Amino acid sequence: MVDIVIKKKTLPKRRFPKGYKVDPSTLTAGRYGTLETVKIWGDERIFEYSLRAQGQSSLTMSRLYPPIIARNLAKEIAEKANLKHINPNRIRELEEQTGHDVIAINTALEEILSPEARPHVNKAKTSADTTQPARVLQIEDSLEVVADSIENLRDIVLEKAVEWIDVPHMDTTHLYDALPTVAGRPFAHYGEMLQSDLNFLKFVYDNSLMCKWGDATGCHHSATALGIDGMKLQEEYCKDLGLKFMDAPAQIPGLEFEADVFYVMARTGETMNNIAKYIAWGKSDDVNIFFNADPRKRKGSSAMPHKDLKGGNPTAEEQDMSVRNYVMGNMVTALANCELPYARNLAASSNSRINLEYGFKYFDHGIRRLANAVFWTGLNEDRCRERVKRSFGVVTSQQVMTYLTDPRRVSKPMSRSEAHNLMGKLATEAWNSKTQFIDVLLKNEKVKSRIEEKVLRKITDPFEYVGQSKKIITTVFNKYHKKKTLED
C-alpha cells in the first residue's frame, strides 16, 4: 500500500447550482453551458465588457492628461458605463438604426451623461479600441473559469489513480496486452497531461491576451492630433486593464494571439477525448473493467432495454468526443483567421464571435461532464485480475529476457537477439498451448541452466511485474494534486 490519504474526495463541479432555473436562450444550442460561462458571453455581456473598456479609457486618459478630460468627467463616464445605467434594449435599438455595434454603445452612453462629459466618449479611439479590449477581457475571465474546471477534472483523475494504485491491471499497446501495471497508472498519465494543458493555458493567459488602443491603423493618429503620446497612453491603458499589448499592432493585434486561445481548447480537448475514450473502452462488454457507479441510473436505449444494466450508454464520454471535434474545428478556423490583409478586414470578426462564445460554453460544459463521468467510474477488480491472469505470464517475457542478457545475474549471458528470439518462441508456445509461461521456461535447458527456479518463479509472476507504476502515481499526485494554475 502507498501512504497517500485522501481525506475528502474532490467532487465534480456542477454546471449550475442545484435548483437553478436555466434560461435555455443563454446556452449554446439551448443545451450547453455553465453558470460561469453564460455570465461572460452573450450580447448583453458584450455590451457590459465594451462599456467597461470605454470607462477605463476615460480614466486612463484623465490620469495621464487631465487637461484633456477632467477627472470628475472621466469618473462620471466610468461610473455610468454599465448596464445599471444604460438599458440594453436602447443599445439594440440604436444598432438597428446605425448598423454599427460600437456606435450604438457609445451613443447610448452619451445619452445618459452630462453635456460636459459627452464629448469625451470614445476620444482618440476607433471601434477596435473598444471591441478588442472587451473581447480580451471576456477571454481572460473565460480562461480563469475553464482553468478551475480543468483543475477539478485533474484532481478527480489523480484521485482515481491513487484509489486504484494496488489493483493489478494489464496495459495494452496497439490494443494488444502489453505489460502488467496497476489500474491507477493510466490515470496518472491523464492527470499529468491535464496539468500540461493547464501549463499551456497559463502561458497563453500570461502572454497572448493582447489589449489595444492605437486608432484605426495602430499608429495613434488621433492621439497625435491631441498632442499626446499615444504609445504611452496605450501602455498605461492596457496595464490598467491588466492586459498585454503590442507596440506595433495593426487596427487589431495579430490574430495569431487569438489562435493561441483556441489552441488551449483544442489541446485540452485532445486530452479529454483520450480520457473519454479510455473510460468508454473500459466499460465495453469485451473489456468490462469499468462500470457506471452513479446511483442515478440512466436509461440505456429506447430499443434495447437490457442496456439499463449498464446504467445507460456512455453518453458523457461520447459527448466529450464531440466537444473535441468541435474545438478542433474552431482551431482550424482560428488559424485561417490569422490571414490579415494589413491593417484590417472583417473576415475573422463574425466567426470568432460565434466560436469564442459557443466554444467556451460548450468546452466548459464538456469538462464538467467528463469530471462527473470519471468521478462515478467504478472498477471491476476481479475482471482486472482476470485480464492479467489470462496472459499465462507471457507478458513477463521482457523481464526474463533482461535477466538472460545481464552478466550480473547469469554466468553465461545471451546476446540480446538470441534472448529475444528464444523468449518470443517460448511465449508463443505457452500462449498457444494455454500453459503457464513458467512451466514452459522450466523445460528449456538454455533458460533453467542460467536462472534458478526460485528466481524464475518470481520474475514470471505478472502480478508483481509492474515496474515503477506505483512510484509514478505518487510522484504525479504529489506534484499536481490541488495545484492552482493562475495564482502567482
**pLDDT tens-digit series, residues 113-166:** 999 999 999 999 999 999 999 999 999 999 999 999 999 999 999 999 999 999
Alpha carbon distance 266, 277 (integer Å): 16
Q: What gap in Å lies between CA 475 and CA 188, rounded to an integer?
A: 9
CATH of domain 392-459: 1.10.40.30
pLDDT recorded at residue 303: 77
Q: Which is nearest to 331 in space by CA: 275, 272, 264? A: 264
Q: Which CATH fold topology does 43-120 show?
A: Fumarase C; Chain B, domain 1 (1.10.275)
User: Which mean pLDDT values do the consecutive 10-residue runs of the chain (488 residues) have?
Assistant: 79 97 96 98 96 98 98 98 98 97 98 98 97 98 98 98 98 96 98 98 98 97 98 98 98 98 98 98 96 83 77 92 98 97 94 98 98 98 98 97 98 97 98 98 97 97 97 98 91
HSE of 48 in the Cβ direction (CA atoms, 13 Å)?
11
- Rounded Cα distance, 476 and 194, in Å: 11
Instruction: Determine the 3-state secondary structure of 199 from DSSP.
Output: helix
Cell of 454: 526460485
pLDDT computed for residue 151 by the predictor: 98
- Residue among 293, 361, 392 at smallest CA distance from 31: 361
The C-alpha cell that represents 138 in the structure block: 471576456
- 8 A C-beta contact, residue 3 and residue 14: no
**From 3.40.50.300, 1.20.200.10, 1.10.10.10, 3.40.50.720, which CATH number describes the 128-157+185-378 domain?**
1.20.200.10
Pairing, β 290-292 against β 244-245: unpaired
- pLDDT of 346 reads 94
Q: How far apart are CA 427 and CA 432, in angstroms?
A: 9
The three-state secondary structure class of 169 is strand
Q: What pLDDT, on the 0 to 100 scale, is given for residue 1?
A: 46
How far apart, in whole angstroms, are the C-alpha atoms of residue 437 and residue 423?
Answer: 10
Residue reference for cell 495569431: 256
pLDDT score for 2: 54
Element (H or E) spanning 342, and its range? Answer: none
Rounded CA gap, 369 and 365, in Å?
Answer: 6
Residue-level pLDDT at 311: 77
The pLDDT tens digits of the residues spanning 399-414 come to 999 999 999 999 999 9
Position 4 scores a pLDDT of 82
* DSSP H or E segment with residue 120: none
How many whole angstroms separate alpha carbon 311 and alpha carbon 34? 24
- Nearest Cα to Cα of residue 139 among 28, 12, 268, 259: 259
pTM beyond 0.85, yes or no: yes
CA of 319: how far to CAs of 8, 169, 407, 436, in Å?
A: 28, 27, 53, 42
Cell for 435? 500453459
DSSP for residue 66: T
pLDDT at 6: 84
Domain parsing of the chain, residue ranges: 43-120, 128-157+185-378, 392-459
At residue 487, the pLDDT reads 83
Helix (H, G, I), strand (E, B) or coil at 379: strand
Cα distance between residue 218 and residue 2, in whole Å: 59
- Read off the C-alpha cell for 198: 493547464
> What is the DSSP code (8-state) at residue 32?
B
